Amino acid sequence: MNILFFTRLTSLILAISLSLILHLVVIYFLFNKWDEGIKIQKVSPPKYLQAKLVNLDEKIKKKIQPKPKPKPKPKPKPKPKPKPKKNNENKIKHKILDEQETKSLQASKQLELENKKIVSSYSAYIIERIEANWNRPPSARRGMESKLLIRLVPTGQVISVKLLKTSGNIAFDRSAEQAVYKVGSFDKLQQLDIQTFEKNFRKLQLVFKPNDLRL
């Protein structure tokens, strides 16, 4: 038993000794020999880069957007055509027409004046004939007034006499009516053209006053 124990103890001591020797060798190389083959490299600090987030959708949209079409150049305004000069013939025609119109107006005015003179002359003729046949009654006074409507035909003959306004005196009114009937016909009216007669003498209104007689 003692021999077996001794043998085991000896083996354990040897094993421990070898292990120590090996550790010592390793430690020696680590501190003396190992660092000769290892080179220490200096590590530079990392460089920082500035980064931006880029929206790819916006870039794509910008690329896709069509370029604006160039504005069309404004068309030059057409030059106004020069107005055609009036021909001398047109001027002459207008001048002739103006002269004709002026002459026509002058002629119509002259004719109107002549007609007025004719009407005035024949009216005076009618009043003169009636006054020559009018016998004023003794009862006639200032302020009395009788108005008669006389109807004639183109031959100048009296066809009716109507009292439109009484003077208030029967004798005075009757004297006026009798004066017209006594004339009977104004023969001179036959010389008038039908238009002048129809317009001015077909119907006449006469005003009788004690002092005068007027149409």
CATH (domain of 117): 3.30.1150.10
Give the pLDDT confidence score for residue 62 in this predicted structure.
Answer: 56
Three-state helix/strand/coil letters over 68-91: CCCCCCCCCCCCCCCCCCCCHHHH
**Range 121-126 average pLDDT:** 94
Residue 199 lies inside a defined structural domain of this protein? yes
Give the pLDDT confidence score for residue 22 in this predicted structure.
Answer: 80
Find which of 22-26, 78-82, 148-152 is predicted with most confidence, using mean pLDDT.
148-152
| Structural domain that includes position 156 | 101-214
Give the pLDDT confidence score for residue 157 in this predicted structure.
Answer: 95
109-145 core/surface letters (b: 16 or more CB in 10 A; e: else): eeeeeeeeeebeebbeebbebbeeebebeeebeeebe
**Range 107-112 average pLDDT:** 80
Q: How do residues 153-193 score in pLDDT, each as one tens digit?
A: 999 999 999 999 999 999 999 999 999 999 999 999 999 99
Count the domains in the chain: 1
Q: Examine the pLDDT at 215 and tell me if it is beyond 80.
A: no
Residue 24 lies inside a defined structural domain of this protein? no
More confident residue, 92 or 118: 118
Give the pLDDT confidence score for residue 129 in this predicted structure.
Answer: 94
Three-state helix/strand/coil letters over 105-136: HHHHHHHHHHHHHHHHHHHHHHHHHHHHCCCC
Give the pLDDT confidence score for residue 61 in this predicted structure.
Answer: 55
Residue 147 lies inside a defined structural domain of this protein? yes
Residue 109 lies inside a defined structural domain of this protein? yes
Give the pLDDT confidence score for residue 64 in this predicted structure.
Answer: 56
Residue 93 lies inside a defined structural domain of this protein? no
Q: Examine the pLDDT at 152 and tell me if it is beyond 50.
A: yes
Which of the four pLDDT bands, split at 50, 70 and 90, describes residue 38?
Answer: very low
Give the pLDDT confidence score for residue 37 in this predicted structure.
Answer: 47
Give the pLDDT confidence score for residue 106 in this predicted structure.
Answer: 79
Residue 7 lies inside a defined structural domain of this protein? no
**Range 202-212 average pLDDT:** 89
Residue 51 lies inside a defined structural domain of this protein? no
Residue 40 lies inside a defined structural domain of this protein? no
Which of the four pLDDT bands, split at 50, 70 and 90, describes residue 90?
Answer: confident
